[in-house]
Chain A
Amino acid sequence: MSKYALFLGCTTPVKVPQYELASRWVCEYFGIELIDVEEFTCCGINQVNLRVEAGLLMAAMNLALAEAKGLDILTLCAACTGALAEAIEKLKDETIRNSVNEKLRDSGLEYKGKTKVRHISRVLYEEIGTEKIKREIKKDLSALRVAPHYGCHYLRPKSAFENFEEPDNPRTLHGLISATGAQPVGYEALNLCCGGKVSPVSEDLSRALVQKKLDNLANKEVDAMVLQCQTCYLMYSDQQKEVNKEYGNQYNLPVILYPQLLGLALGANPVKDLALNLHNISPETILSKVI
């Protein structure tokens, strides 16, 4: 089966390790081999704020590290996916690639343009496929109504992702959720950004975005939000209490990552394999509906 360099990113391994644990479990289940590359660092997405060149160099360095092992990259974070995919786009330009490689050379690295990047959901959707996933389902999740949230950098800019999704009408996460047996619920604010990337500069703005989405979901009778990015997770889960305080809400909406939902459907142990006990907002209502 397929083999990828696992790109953990900054936040997942230290703040949302349950996402890493569940992702490793799901990949192992489907025979997707994940190789840990210890020299991987931050993808550079936030460094473009201060120096575009620095962000590009960091992305290129990570791509070169995977390329030296002859591997494509599998990401968990939507933002890392976007940053690396955008860098790959830019580095198709020979002048830019040569100038970047000149700076990587001292460190014995070079990016030739071979290594590509794929988010775990895309790998599951394109390589495993929803039909195969459906055949593997062990538990009945049909009572679960969940709201998908894609993560901006999983979708945009479309040009960096070989047009595999239509950003204004995305389908892959809906399909992956349906494959588990759970029901993806439609809602108006589906494409609303979590605000994670503005939160270091303005928490007011990021919380305003979180509030809008939670408010939209309030009358949709959903059991949980299902996400595919740990930054979005931190915004909707950890910030939910803060938003409640600020806006006078009583929201208590569980938020989980897609590999956790898939793991539940495949019969994984909710604590040992998926670490569903580590969530701020108890996913007990989810577990009670898994038969």
Chain B
Amino acid sequence: MDEVKKMVSTSELDPGFKSDVLAHPDARGLNACFSCGACSAGCPIHEVFPDYSPKKLAKMVRLGMKKEVLNSPYIWYCATCCNCVEHCPQNVKFFDILNVLKNMAAKGGYAPAAWVEQTKHVMETGIVFAQEDSWVKKREVLSLRPLKEYVDKMRKIVEKTGIDKIKPRVNSK
């Protein structure tokens, strides 16, 4: 992310990036952002790690800093608390915009391995974990009903989006 700290060079900007993002209905609100920073002010991650800033990311998108945004590990640092959505005076849903950015980054090969791995588990077990024998026993002890895996229907539906084909970012967690 060092490059972001440098001056922005206009020759390296992608003027079409903002339109690409706005093309997704979930990112529609981005144009209403006037950079007041209410999103960053209420963001718990920004508080403990100031380099992560919703306001800054929104600005970067509007400037066309495609490479810097999509390649940045920071776009994956959102804790999804949605304070940014709740506090925005312009009704910009930054949380939804960030998901659009993450989706674009994933398509470009920048998905964190943790999320790719989790999707793999979902496709196999129906939940975000790989099967473990210890669960069965734990539930038996508590007389809770045994869990069954019905994943065929879900897999068939979800595969239509191509999510199972996404590859993790190389050399990342």
Evaluate whether A17 and B166 lie within 8 angstroms (CB atoms) in the complex, with A10-B129, A41-B127, A198-B45 already known: no
Q: Which of A17, A21, A48, A109 contacts B99 (CB 8 A)?
A: A48
> Which B residues between 8 and 43 are near A, CB-CB below 8 angstroms?
24, 26
Task: Decide: B154 and A61 in contact? CB cutoff 8 A.
Answer: yes
A48 neighbours in B (Cβ, 8 Å): 99
Which of A106, A107, A109, A198 is B79 in contact with, Cβ under 8 Å? A198
State in angstroms the CA–CA spacing of A52 and B80 once bound together. Answer: 14
Chain A residues, Cβ within 8 Å of B45:
198, 205, 209
Q: Which of A1-44 contact B (CB under 8 A)?
A: 9-11, 13-15, 17-18, 20-21, 24, 36, 38-39, 41-42
**28 A–B contacts, CB within 8 A, in A order:** A10-B127, A10-B129, A11-B128, A13-B144, A17-B144, A38-B148, A38-B150, A41-B127, A46-B118, A46-B128, A47-B163, A50-B102, A51-B103, A51-B161, A51-B166, A54-B119, A58-B154, A58-B157, A82-B82, A106-B156, A107-B157, A109-B153, A157-B86, A193-B83, A202-B77, A209-B48, A212-B47, A212-B48
- With both chains docked as a complex, state the minimum distance between the C-beta of B29 and any C-beta of chain A, in angstroms: 12
| Complex contact A103–B157 (CB within 8 A) | yes
Question: Which A residues form the contact surface with B (CB < 8 A)?
Answer: 9-11, 13-15, 17-18, 20-21, 24, 36, 38-39, 41-42, 45-54, 57-58, 61, 79, 82, 103-104, 106-107, 109, 152-153, 156-158, 167-168, 191-193, 195-198, 200-202, 205-206, 208-209, 212, 275
Chain B minimum-CB-distance residue to A51: B163
Contacting A at CB under 8 A, from B89-148, are: 93, 95, 99-100, 102-103, 106, 111-112, 114-116, 118-119, 122, 126-129, 132, 135, 138-139, 142, 144-145, 147-148
**Residues A206 and B154 in contact, CB atoms below 8 Å apart:** no
Can you add 4 more A-B contacts, CB < 8 Å, to A11-B127, A54-B158, A103-B160?
A52-B103, A152-B80, A156-B85, A200-B114
With a cutoff of 8 Å between Cβ atoms, the chain B residues found around residue A38 in the complex are 148, 150
CA distance in complex: A113, B34 (Å): 35
Taking CB as reference atom, which chain A residue is nearest B153? A107
> When the two chains form the complex, which single residue of A15, A21, A191 contacts B142, counting CB atoms closer than 8 Å?
A21
User: Is B63 among interface residues, defined by CB-CB distance under 8 A?
Assistant: no
CB of B144 within 8 A of CB of A52, answer no
B142–A275 CB distance below 8 A: yes
Q: Is the CB of B122 within 8 A of A42?
A: yes
Chain A hits for B138, CB < 8 A: 14, 17
Tell which of B44, B93, B95, B142 touches A193, judged by Cβ atoms closer than 8 Å.
Answer: B44
Q: B66 to nearest A CB, angstroms?
A: 19
Closest chain B CB from A14 CB (angstroms): 4
Contacts of A201 in B (CB 8 A): 76-77, 112, 114-115, 173
The one of A47, A167, A193 in contact with B122, judged by C-beta atoms closer than 8 angstroms, is A47
Say whether, besides A21-B142, A103-B157, A198-B79, A156 and B86 are in contact (CB < 8 Å): yes
Across-interface contacts of B153 in A (CB, < 8 A): 39, 61, 107, 109
Chain B residues close to A by CB (< 8 Å): 24, 26, 44-45, 47-49, 76-83, 85-86, 93, 95, 99-100, 102-103, 106, 111-112, 114-116, 118-119, 122, 126-129, 132, 135, 138-139, 142, 144-145, 147-148, 150-151, 153-154, 156-158, 160-163, 166, 173
CA distance A107 to B157 in the complex (A): 8
A156-B81 in contact given A36-B145, A42-B126 (Cβ < 8 Å): yes
Q: Least Cβ distance of A83 to chain B in Å?
A: 10
Provide the residues of chain B in CB contact with A104, threshold 8 Å. Answer: 157
What residues on A are CB-neighbors of B127 within 8 Å?
Answer: 9-11, 14, 41-42
Residues of B within 8 A of A109 (CB): 153
Q: How far is the CA of A50 from the CA of B81 in the complex (A)?
A: 18
Determine the chain A residues whose CB is within 8 A of the CB of B163 once the complex forms: 47, 50-51, 54
Partner of B139, one of A13, A103, A198: A13
The answer to whether A200 and B158 touch across the interface, beta carbons within 8 angstroms, is no
B residues near A206, Cβ cutoff 8 Å: 79
Contacts of A45 in B (CB 8 A): 80
- Taking a contact as CB atoms closer than 8 A, the residue among B79, B126, B142, B151 that contacts A205 in the complex is B79
